[in-house]
Amino acid sequence: MLSSHQRLNVKHPSNIEIHSHSRSINKSKYNENKDNFHQWLVGFTDGDGSFSIIRVAEGKWTLFFKLTQSTYNLRVLYFIKKQLGVGSVHTDANNNKGDFRIRDRKIIGSIILPIFDKYPLLTSKYFSYQKFKKAYDILENSNLSTKEKDNLLLKLQSEQMPTNYISPAWKTVNYEVNNTNDAKSVMSKYWLIGFTEAEGSFYLVSKDSTRIVHAFEITQKLDPIVLKSIAYILGINISKKKTYYTAVTTNSRAISNIIDYYNNTMKGMKAVEFKIWARSYVKDKGNYEKLRKLRDNIRVLRKIRLNKNFVLVDTTQDKNNKD
């Protein structure tokens, strides 16, 4: 199968900017400069966002920008709402999933599109964004009739992403990442923090019946170039499984570097999980019993569900009703 981008045997430009990934980048920076938050938001969207073009009825269309999380992590959705100053947060009937939504076309045009134009998505989600933006332009075009808009949007909606599609954001490195500088020239630390908040996992894993170790992992079904870049930046390995790619490590030196890299950077419940995980690495590494109890507690923590008012929801009642 042919990739959607041909890789040419050319040298990368020597004047490409390398994004800083220093320890001075932390969560306080989101308030100092909106550009920092915007890069974080693009990373988070690359992980758990969607751009939807919905035909409500003949000649009637709506656009949806949405970010979805477990209600366990509602705090990150309200953080996004506060930073953007627009949008709304909703929860489903069972309070299992929450989402941040924007469907007002004026807000999409004035706030959302400028962010994603300035800081392009790094995953194949870029393809969905380009369709979304084209749909916006069609709907805003006063020279088109309702019927013409309907036909153009139906055609646009049916467009399929090419095999092995790669975001144009990687064009500056010729769609190939061969070292850490290649990765850092495209991927900022703010983007990686946002993406990790959506897709990363800090966890404890059993090596055998008497040993539990710290692990870090990010998986993706598509976009190996993204995981390869993350692996270069964090100093870990990437491997291909049957249906997905994974960047994962239990290596002690890598875990120490990851703790330094993400320290005091995240905003959602991932920040809480990371803090517990990192502290236990320093205090309880090698202590099987303490780590086993901690792993059990984290599993209980992740089962927490909240309604939109941050009130704890009893999920056992729903389970009992299904029995």
Q: What is the pLDDT of residues 197-251, one digit of tens each?
A: 999 999 999 999 999 999 999 999 999 999 999 999 999 999 999 999 999 999 9
Q: Among residues 262, 264, 263, 269, which one has the least CA distance to residue 298?
A: 269
Tokens linked to 229? 């870049």
| Superfamily of the domain at 180-302 | Homing endonucleases (3.10.28.10)
pLDDT tens, position by position, 32-87 = 899 999 999 999 999 999 999 999 999 999 999 999 999 999 999 999 999 999 99
The domain segmentation of the chain, as residue ranges, is 29-173, 180-302
Full-model pTM: 0.92
Same fold, 29-173 and 180-302: yes
3 state SS of 8: coil
Q: How far apart are CA 187 and CA 82, in angstroms?
A: 25
Residues 37, 20: Cα–Cα separation, whole Å: 15
Which residue, 243, 323, 307, 319, is CA-closest to 95? 307
CATH number, span 29-173:
3.10.28.10
